[in-house]
Structure 1
Amino acid sequence: MDRVDKYDQMYLELGFAFILIGFFYIAVHDVLFAAHSILLYHLLFFAFIMVYTYLKHYMVKKNIFKRERLIFVFKIMDISFFSFGIVYLNIGEWAYIFTILILAFTSLVKGKRQGLLLVAILIVTTFLIYISYNISVSNQRILLVEFFTSQLFFQMLFYYITVILFVMICSKIQRNNMENEEENKKLLAQLEEKYQQLEAAQDEIKIHYGKLKDTNIKLEDTNKKLTSSIAEFYTLQQITQAISSIFDINELLKYVNDIILGVMGVSYSTIILYDEKKSKLTVHTTNIKNKEELDILNNNINCNILMNALNNSKPIIENFADSDEYVFTDGRDVNSLICVPLSTKTRKFGLVLIEQKYYGAFDDENVRLLDIIGQQVGIALENAELYQKMHELATIDGLTGIYNRLYFQERLQKEFSKAQKGGYNLSVAIFDIDHFKRFNDTFGHLFGDKVLKSIAGTVKDFLRSTDVFARYGGEEFIILFPRTSTEEAYEKVEALRKKINQHSIKDNLVTACVTVSFGIACFPESAVTESEFIRKADDALYAAKNAGRNCVKVADVWIRE
Structure 2
Amino acid sequence: MNRIQKFEQVLGRCCWGILAFLAISVAININPAINIINLSKSDIMLIILIVLLSIFNFVRLKYINSNLLYTEKVFDVFRIIEVALLSIFINGNYQRIEHYLIIIPMIFSSLSRGRKSSFVLLGINAVIKIVKGFIVYFLSDTIILSTSDLFDYCIELVWVYVIWISIIIITSAFSNQNCKNEIENQRLVFELGEKYEQLEAAQNEIKIQYDKLKESNLKLEDSNLRLTKSIAEFYTLQQISEAIGSIFDINELLKFVNDVIIGVMGVNYSTIVFFDQKKNKLKVHFTNVKDKEDLAILSDNINCRFLLDILESEKPILENDVVPEKFEFIQSRVIGSFICIPLSSKSRKFGLLLIEHKNKNTFNNENLSLVTTICKSVSMAIENAELYASMQVLATIDGLTGVYNRVYFHQKFENEFKLAKESGYELTLVILDIDYFKKFNDTYGHLFGDVVLKSVAQMVKSSLRSTDTMARFGGEEFVIILPRTSIKKAYEKVEYLRHKIANSVITDSLVSASVTASFGIASFPETSKSVTEIIKDADNALYRAKDNGRNRIEVAKDYDIMD
Q: CA deviation at 1:250?
A: 2.2
Is 1:256–2:252 an aligned residue pair? no
Q: CA deviation at 1:510?
A: 2.5
> Is the 8 Å Cα contact of residues 527 and 559 (structure 2) preserved in structure 1?
no
Aligned to 1:271: 272
Aligned to 1:136: none
Q: CA deviation at 1:292?
A: 2.0
Aligned to 1:422: 423
Q: Counterpart amino acid of 1:488?
A: K
Q: Distance in 1 between matches of 2:279 and 2:484?
A: 37
Aligned to 1:29: none
CA deviations 1:489-523 (Å, max 9, x no partner) are 11211221112111221223432221111111111
Aligned to 1:303: 304
Q: CA deviation at 1:430?
A: 0.5
Q: Tell me, what secondary structure is at the counterpart of 2:235?
A: helix
Q: Distance in 1 between matches of 2:525 and 2:227?
A: 62
Aligned to 1:397: 398
| CA gap 1:522/1:305 in 2 versus in 1, 3 angstroms | same
| CA gap 1:455/1:544 in 2 versus in 1, 3 angstroms | same
Aligned to 2:512: 511
Q: Counterpart amino acid of 1:507?
A: D
Percent sequence identity over matched residues?
58
Is 1:230–2:245 an aligned residue pair? no
Aligned to 1:533: 534
Q: Distance in 2 between matches of 1:321 and 1:485?
A: 61
Is 1:313–2:311 an aligned residue pair? no
Aligned to 1:455: 456
> Is the 8 Å Cα contact of residues 516 and 549 (structure 1) preserved in structure 2?
yes
| CA gap 1:560/1:306 in 2 versus in 1, 3 angstroms | closer
Q: Distance in 2 between matches of 1:304 and 1:224?
A: 39
Q: Counterpart amino acid of 2:395?
A: A
Q: Tell me, what secondary structure is at the counterpart of 1:337?
A: strand
Is 1:342–2:364 an aligned residue pair? no
Aligned to 2:377: 376
Q: Distance in 2 between matches of 1:507 and 1:311?
A: 44
Q: Distance in 2 between matches of 1:368 and 1:241?
A: 20
CA deviations 1:88-139 (Å, max 9, x no partner) are xxxxxxxxxxxxxxxxxxxxxxxxxxxxxxxxxxxxxxxxxxxxxxxxxxxx
Q: Counterpart amino acid of 1:356?
A: H
Aligned to 2:27: none
Q: Distance in 1 between matches of 2:263 and 2:409?
A: 40
Q: Tell me, what secondary structure is at the counterpart of 1:362?
A: coil
Range with greater deviation from structure 2 (498-507 or 470-479): 498-507
Is 1:439–2:430 an aligned residue pair? no
Q: Tell me, what secondary structure is at the counterpart of 1:324?
A: helix
Q: Distance in 2 between matches of 1:467 and 1:429?
A: 11
Q: Distance in 1 between matches of 2:347 and 2:497?
A: 46
Q: Distance in 2 between matches of 1:528 and 1:266?
A: 56
Q: CA deviation at 1:253?
A: 1.6
Q: Distance in 2 between matches of 1:340 and 1:228?
A: 21
> Is the 8 Å Cα contact of residues 488 and 561 (structure 2) preserved in structure 1?
no
> Is the 8 Å Cα contact of residues 522 and 555 (structure 2) preserved in structure 1?
yes
Q: CA deviation at 1:403?
A: 0.8
CA deviations 1:400-450 (Å, max 9, x no partner) are 111111111111121111112112211100011011111111111111111
Q: Tell me, what secondary structure is at the counterpart of 1:334?
A: coil
**What is the TM-score of this pair, normalised by structure 2?**
0.58
> Is the 8 Å Cα contact of residues 521 and 556 (structure 2) preserved in structure 1?
yes
Range with greater deviation from structure 2 (523-532 or 537-546): 523-532
What's the RMSD between the two structures over aligned residues? Answer: 2.3
Aligned to 2:101: none
Q: Tell me, what secondary structure is at the counterpart of 1:371?
A: helix
| CA gap 1:434/1:229 in 2 versus in 1, 3 angstroms | same
Q: Tell me, what secondary structure is at the counterpart of 1:556?
A: helix
Aligned to 1:464: 465
> Is the 8 Å Cα contact of residues 266 and 355 (structure 1) preserved in structure 2?
yes
Q: CA deviation at 1:277?
A: 4.1
Is 1:363–2:364 an aligned residue pair? yes
Q: CA deviation at 1:221?
A: 7.6
Q: Tell me, what secondary structure is at the counterpart of 2:558?
A: coil
> Is the 8 Å Cα contact of residues 403 and 457 (structure 2) preserved in structure 1?
yes
Structure 1 stretches of 4+ with a deviation exceeding 6 A read 216-223
Aligned to 1:502: 503
Q: Tell me, what secondary structure is at the counterpart of 1:462?
A: coil
Aligned to 1:545: 546
Q: Tell me, what secondary structure is at the counterpart of 2:462?
A: helix
Q: CA deviation at 1:358?
A: 2.2
> Is the 8 Å Cα contact of residues 553 and 559 (structure 1) preserved in structure 2?
no
Q: CA deviation at 1:460?
A: 0.8
Q: Counterpart amino acid of 1:355?
A: E
**What is the TM-score of this pair, normalised by structure 1?**
0.58
Q: Tell me, what secondary structure is at the counterpart of 2:324?
A: coil
Q: Tell me, what secondary structure is at the counterpart of 1:442?
A: helix
